[in-house]
Structure 1
Amino acid sequence: MQILVVDDSALVRDMVTSIVVNAGYPQPLLAKDAREAKAHIKRSVVDLILMDIQLPGVDGLQLTRQIRRNLKDEQWIPIIFLTIKDDPDYLAAAIDAGGDDYLVKPVNPVVLLAKVHAMARISNMKAALDETNLQLNRLTQIDALTNVINRRGFDESLMHSWRLHRRNDQELCLLFLDIDDFKTYNDNYGHPQGDRCLRQVAELFKTCLRNESDLLARYGGEEFVIVLPNTTLRAAEKLAQSILLKLAQERIEHQHSHVAPYITASIGISTTRDGASTAQKLLSQADRSLYKAKSNGRNQICCFEDIEQLATDAEL
């Protein structure tokens, strides 16, 4: 569990750090004011905040209201206030601002750890409930034609994978796939046959997934996406190559294609290693890579890092 300690006293920050680290928790994030605290929350997954109420500038009560207002319900972070004021009205104000508990300084290490353990249990229970709800939502977010996740389900699943990527600091890859010349396929073979082709291609894509963590979704029309949590770029490239190979082996007839006499696909790949700061930017990078693969002649793979390298070489 990642803890954020917000206190303008270096002595208090060091004391709290010593207590939680000795209890087996990771090194906490440290902030001396609201600005540093918000920066940590923005770039890291925070599971618990231990916060002084009397902070310079924006105090702990104001900061808590801002956190509760800016974060969605599924990003709830428990907040325990640490303060020198042992006053019932102050306690009421702290809870009303959005705090979850209240401890008076100097903090008793045993009491602090008991509170932290309690919040950890609640946080773990919420995480398990969120995962269960995600699985239930997926059952209602299936594309009726291809029997894979639909666009809405993809959006939610990508955000879930993104949060896991940030929490665990593991590489996340995304494949954007487009069936080549599919409009021409529909124009010549008819839409009913086009629907059958989409179902066949979706089934082929599914056979290339490695485990239950990999997720295939229909993005729209003849476009598909594959989310690959905890996956290196090289592993993502290998999966993409297996897709192109299976399409070549399957040889789904497409005599009107400008690429080959069978169905082919273009694939763009992006990875969090390329500096995407949000899930949407990761998707945008995969989309740019797909466009490059199509402009290069289709039936091929393009990685975002290759686009970046070409741009760098051009500048040199």
Structure 2
Amino acid sequence: MRLAFMGTPDFAVPSLFALHAAGHEIVVVYSQPPRPAGRGQAICLSPVHRAAAELGLPVRVPARLRINVEEHAFFHALQLDAAVVAAYGLILPTAMLDAPRLGCLNIHASLLPRWRGAAPIQAAILAGDNHSGVTIMRMDAELDTGAMLRSDRIALTPTTTAATLHDDLAIMGARLIVTTLDQPTTPAQAQPEQGVTYAPRLTREDGRIDWSQDAAALDRQIRALTPWPGTFTTLDGQVIKIGSAAPSPARHLAPPGTILDDALTVACGKGALRITRLQRPGRSMMDTNLFLRGQSVPAGTVLGS
């Protein structure tokens, strides 16, 4: 098929490679414009932009699309069979949604209609869902409301993190979009009206640990928000990032946030959580035993105060 591919982050890269390997004619790739990144704030191409360059595909990086009539005209003139969209980051106007013969197909990292929106991977873990998955849908003008063409699911475990789920769903999405385009006459199904939930865009503040919450919820928060935006607490006035933790069977009568032992087990509103990886300012993430060699944190210390 004659395709446009529209994506920006790592999640979209396996789908781009899979479509190319399947022999589809990818006439153009759209991605977010290069932006400064890292400590040096050097201008960097997006992961999809880099992948497209590796494949020798032309890339367009418009900053806006909604009223960009020149881009609308260019897109329409491509005479596409379909456009494949995977975490692109810009809203497509109707003029572009209606241009391809088969429409614009979105690779969405959830089992729609659950977790429409910007952060479905993290939302599924935060909520304690038993499953997540990928849905291929035909896009319309609303947010993630289009008719569904295909989906698949994966079980979530007590150790699933946003990073591992991201990678699993990226591979699943690549497989599903190739299958969907191989069977273009598959009937679309409207999304059910029941079970609609939304996953809003995350901010750094979402990573603040409230030790008055129960340990199971905090464990999900840490697993859902690692590596981004990350979770954090404070220790002696310093912001400490938490890389991983595990619920602990420790029994306690201490206030939430209190260190219970020499292994950084922390009292929560219900239960306790043992921090297994953490990071002090200006240092790299490290295991707890290495952290404690450089900084004493005696039992009775209170985090987050």
**By the TM > 0.5 criterion, same fold?**
no
Which has the greater radius of gyration?
1
TM-score range normalised by the length of the shorter chain: under 0.3
Q: Which structure dedicates a bigger proportion of its chain to strand? A: 2
**Higher helix proportion (structure 1 or 2):** 1
